[in-house]
Structure formats: C-alpha cells, structure tokens
Structure 1
C-alpha cells in the first residue's frame, strides 16, 4: 500500500469548516485509526533480510534508520509547546494525539534497532533542522507568557518548522527513499508496515499544519515569515542527503536510487504551493 500524501487536495483538510471542527474531526480520526501497536509488527522477515544483505546496503540502512530514530525521539521530547499554543480545546486535543504518536514512532525504531539491526544507533548523522528544535521549543514556551499576537507568531514559526518542513518535507522524502532502495526489492516488510502506519499518522499532522499555515498566510506578516523559514532551512534540509554516510568508521556509498536532493527539493516546492498556491514566487 502506498499513499501519495504530497498531493495537497488529499492532504489538507477542507477550508469550509472551522479550524476547531477540523481539529476535532482529526482528533476523533486519530482515536479510531491511530491505535496501531509498534510492538505488534512482525519483524522476523526483516531480520532475515538484513542478515542476507551486502555490507553497503546494511550500512546505509543503519544510517537511514538512525536518522528516523533521532528525529522521532527528538520531537517526542520537545513537542509539548506546540500543544500548549493551540488556541482552542479542540486544537490542543488533536495536537496531543501527535505527541503520543511521536512516542510510538520512537518505540518502533528503538525496537527495530534492537530486534533487526542488532545494535545501537550510530552517532554523527547530521540533521540541523531537527537540532534547531531546542531553540524553537524554548521560543514557543516563552511566547506562552506573551500576548495573543506573539503567541500566534510563535505558533506560525513552530508549525512551519515542524509540520511544514520536518514532517512535510524531510520525513516524507524518507518514505520514498525507503521504497526506492529497499521496498522495490521486496525487502523489510515489517519496516514497510511501520512506515505505512507512521505515514498515516503524519498525514494527519502535516495536513493540519499546512491547513493552519495556509490560513495564517493570509496575514502578510505571517506569510513573509513562513517563506523566510522555508528559505532559511533549505540548505539544512539538503544536508540530510549531502552528508557522507559513515558507519563504524567506514564510508558507505549512497545507493543511486536515493536521489535525495531531487526528492527533497520537489517536496519543498510542493509544500510552498500547498501554503501559498499559485502566488509562490521562487
């Protein structure tokens, strides 16, 4: 099963309803459909597949899964300010489901390292956009003590940074990379199932975030800041696939199917169109 979340008409909830209605509907959808258990996914074939791989494809998978584990864990530990800045009970209810889901995604990759890869994650995988979440979370917490304009401005930046860029560009690129490198070979059905479940969760996260940004961008001040963050972070996004892949002191060649820079820039442009429509000025 492969869902194309990059199409805005499928991803962004309708603008016909109020934000509170949309948030509550997504909250209820998360309750109905977000109840998958990371511990229930069968990883036995994945372990066999991993043991049969050549060294380069093993190394790239370790690097690749490290990036996901680092990212999921990082946001799980820092996401509370996004919930707290929600302006209604309905918005906070939906955003609270994202916090639970980020911990579930973290659990899945922790289990994957333990049961399939049989090792700890590696160190040194660069993801500057993720690393900047420390500063972003502090900024959003500070805004809780400010007035409504400052709170809204902080939420705009938080939604752009996380739902718009990290989930909307980086993570969704990663799903396509997995499919191109491993899924098309019929490898790792457990990881494929995990990604399908995570994509379903993050489709709700990204869809809500983009819908909020689309509405907030009607304010020229917010629109300018959204675009500035996207442009500021583009070089950092590209680092994810431009960096050398080093595993246990050995440089691993990047599989030719990755095409990371091309995939990232395509989704980057798609997200700007989702938010600004035909008014995007590249």
Structure 2
C-alpha cells in the first residue's frame, strides 16, 4: 500500500458538484447498503494471534497502545453520533448519516474482538485524544441547536462536520492507517488487522468524502469558512498530542517505532484537508 493511498482514496470519494447534496447523500447511502455489509466477526484473526505472540516486547507494547487509541475513538463516536444525523437537513442526508452510526459500531466491535482474541487483554487507560474527548461538548451543542432556527442549526452542523468528519476521521484516522501500514502491514504482519482497516477505510472514505464536500460548500459563506479554519487551528495542537505522547502500558514505557513519524504524517494530512476544503495550498 503506497503512502499516497489515503489521499487517492479520499480524492476519488469526494463527490463532485454536478449533483445536489441530497442526490450525493442518497448515492452514498446506497453505496453503504451495497458495500458496507462486511462482518467484523468474519475476519480471520488466527495469523494475527501468532504474529502478536512473536513480536518483540516493544512492538507488543506499541500495538496495544495503538489499538487502544482506535477502540476508544470508534466507541466514543458511536455513542455520540446521533446529533449529526438529527441535524441533517433532509431525509436523504439523514439516511446516509445513519449508515455512519451503524458503521462506527461495527468498527468498535472489531477492536473489542481484537483485544479479546489477539491481544488477550483489556484496553489500557490514559491514551490521550483530546479532540475525541471534546465530542461530549460538541454533541451537547448540536442537540441544543435542534431547538433553534435554521441558521443556528446550520452553524452547529458545520462545526460538527469539521470536528468529526473533517478532523477526527479526515486527519487522525487517515494518519492511523498509514502508521499501521508503515509499522506492521509493510512487513506482512497482522493481516486480519490489515483486512479490517481496508474495510474501515472504505466506510470512512464515504464519511470523509461527504463531510469534505459539505464543508467545501459551506466554506463559500465567509462566516462558515472562518469558523472551519478556526476549528482546524484550535485543534491542531490536540491532534499532535496523539503521537507525541509516551507509549505507556501497565506502567512501563515503550519506544515509539521510528516508522511512525506521527507528527510529520499528521501535519501533512492536516494541510491536505484544508486544501480539500478551501481549494488552495495552505500552510500551518
């Protein structure tokens, strides 16, 4: 898998502007119906268990930390995503967004299974992801906007799309896929995790593509463009914490593999997302 895979995938899945948003949403809903029916319980994890047992202790520690970050993130949004659906402005948009809720629970199921069957333990505590933690406040604001007028609802949706599809999925998750490939996939390790990431990326390609298209349209209004950029800038330091933090498992610190290059990958993806939305090169 090339390092440009994530970007090529997202470029292909950002729908064009030749259709209305409702038409695009319905097309993506139908794609989710046809292509998003993979079963997390059906992925073969037998080789992953053997690979994990043969890893050195440093890589075992890093994998536990890495998978904890994904499980925490997938579960967190699965439990909080309903306001995004409710703020959709049409049946078509709500239909598509509803597929994302199901898919987030499927991703959560896979990582719960991975901890039980491959890692043989519970997730660890203390993996920092401040942008994810801020979803509690975001969901409350979006729910409150449901009782307000159309302008307030639209503003809340813009912020929600920026926060989740634009930043958490569009930057953090996409970077995580590259990290898996660099550290494990490129060495032929953990094929079950690789298959799951392939499936998850297909799902999240729809999520990110729709979210970026929406933000691209909303950014035509100066007040929305200003807020989108403010949120990206506000969250950048929190995004970088994801890979700057020490890897600590059961009180022991493990080294970060040199292939991770987390800050570099995150910054590059961050700049790419701003370019996707605003259409010009943007420097951090």
TM-score by length of 1: 0.98
Correspondence for 2:28: 26
Q: How does 1:90-239 map to 2 (within 5 A)?
A: 90-239=92-241
**Shift in Å, 1:5:** 3.2
**Shift in Å, 1:146:** 0.2
Per-residue CA deviation, residues 234-266 of structure 1 (Å, 9 max, x unaligned), is: 000000000011001110000000000000000
**1:59 counterpart = 2:61:** yes
Superposed CA RMSD: 1.1
Runs of at least 5 residues in structure 2 that lack an aligned partner in the other structure? none
Correspondence for 2:6: 5
Q: Is the contact made by 1:169 and 1:271 (CA closer than 8 Å) also made in structure 2?
A: yes
**Shift in Å, 1:281:** 6.3
Per-residue CA deviation, residues 88-138 of structure 1 (Å, 9 max, x unaligned), is: 000000000000000000000000000000000000000000000000000
Q: Is the contact made by 1:65 and 1:109 (CA closer than 8 Å) also made in structure 2?
A: yes
Correspondence for 1:49: 51
1: CA distance, partners of 2:115 / 2:39: 17
**Shift in Å, 1:184:** 1.0
Equivalenced residue count is: 282
**1:254 counterpart = 2:256:** yes
2: CA distance, partners of 1:43 / 1:15: 41
**Shift in Å, 1:10:** 1.4
TM-score by length of 2: 0.97
**Shift in Å, 1:49:** 0.2
Runs of at least 5 residues in structure 1 that lack an aligned partner in the other structure? none
